[in-house]
Structure 1
Amino acid sequence: MTWTPHATVATLVERDGKLLLVEERSHGKTVFNQPAGHIEQGESIQEAAIRETLEETGWRVKLTGFIGLYTYTAPQNGVCYYRFCFAAEALEKESDKLDKDIIAAHWLSMDEIRALEDKLRSPLVLKC
């Protein structure tokens, strides 16, 4: 069997002391996550982070820094994810049309995010 890690991006968008998270459907459950997703062919990791944030939240952002690279192996399928995390500044709300699996985008404080720990899509939400 060939080991193939999945390369993904996530964006931490901060405004007025709150972070932008998405409420989404994943594996039949409602979970919370940073705007995140897979890198498309021919796309840089920065382009992917900006695109995923817009598609999942409707917010246009400017990346302000690279936070780090994190790994996670999903227990339900054994897939290993490499997640490139970026900090970003919210520029403008461009659209209310969100990806099909996204229920809503929320601005949440760290205390509110910690209170949702059992509903976070993965432990990476609190790490990155």
Structure 2
Amino acid sequence: MTERYRPNTTVAWVIESPEGFLFVEENIHGNMQFNQPAGHIEAGETLIEAAKRELHEETSLQLEPEGLVGIYQFPNQSGKVVYLRFCFYAKLAESPALLPIDPAIHACHWLSRDDIAKRSLRSQFVLTCTDDYIAGKRFSLDLLHCQLH
């Protein structure tokens, strides 16, 4: 019998403002890396609740997602852990001040797509999600059906 497949389910954001895309700089095992605001779902949370919580913890922003950019399945660098990532998006008319609440977040940045590509990224899918957003990939939140509460 094969082992049951259990990917780590995560949420992430592509947030665009006039100054660029929102990225967080975080310390991962002693290395500073860039990522979209993102994280794991906690027990009892819907995907949208998890996305809103992670965004607030990492940037102090409180937003409602406008929709999904995509759903991504990929392994970590060792190949031993697989992630299932739900990437949400929002577009802002202004670039608000950002203040990380989570101590693991070193700083928040507004970056152009070219600047993003030059950074040490947490995963290749950070750039893939951004490129999908730039390419106009958008999906309705109606795709998600949650009955936890």
The alignment's TM-score, normalised by the length of structure 1, stands at 0.88
Q: Does 1:104 align with 2:134?
A: no
* Equivalent position of 1:74 in the other structure: 76
- Taking a change above 3 Å as real, the CA distance of residues 47 and 16 of structure 1, as seen in their structure-2 partners, is same
Report which of the two structures shows the higher radius of gyration computed on alpha carbons: 2
| Alpha-carbon distance, 1:96 to partner | 2.7
Give percent identity, aligned residues only.
Answer: 44
Q: Does 1:29 align with 2:70?
A: no
Q: Unaligned stretches of 5+ in structure 1? A: none
* Equivalent position of 1:113 in the other structure: 116
CA displacement 1:67-97 (0-9 Å, x = unmatched): 1100110123610000000012458958734
* Equivalent position of 2:6 in the other structure: 4
- Taking a change above 3 Å as real, the CA distance of residues 97 and 67 of structure 1, as seen in their structure-2 partners, is closer
Equivalences, count? 126
- Which of 16, 19, 41 is 1:39 aligned to? 41
Contact 2:18 2:95 in 1 (8 A): no
| Alpha-carbon distance, 1:58 to partner | 1.4
* Equivalent position of 2:135 in the other structure: none
Q: Does 1:52 align with 2:60?
A: no
Contact 2:100 2:106 in 1 (8 A): no
Letter of the aligned partner of 1:76 in structure 2? S
Spell out the pairing of 1:80-91 with structure 2 (5 A cutoff).
Answer: 80-90=82-92
Q: Which has the higher strand share?
A: 1
Letter of the aligned partner of 1:11 in structure 2? W
* Equivalent position of 2:142 in the other structure: none
Contact 1:6 1:81 in 2 (8 A): yes
Q: Secondary structure at the match of 2:65?
A: strand
- Which of 12, 15, 31 is 1:13 aligned to? 15
Taking the aligned partners of 2:82 and 2:27, their CA distance within structure 1 comes to 20
- Taking a change above 3 Å as real, the CA distance of residues 112 and 92 of structure 1, as seen in their structure-2 partners, is closer
Letter of the aligned partner of 1:123 in structure 2? Q
| Alpha-carbon distance, 1:111 to partner | 1.1
Q: Unaligned stretches of 5+ in structure 2? A: 130-149
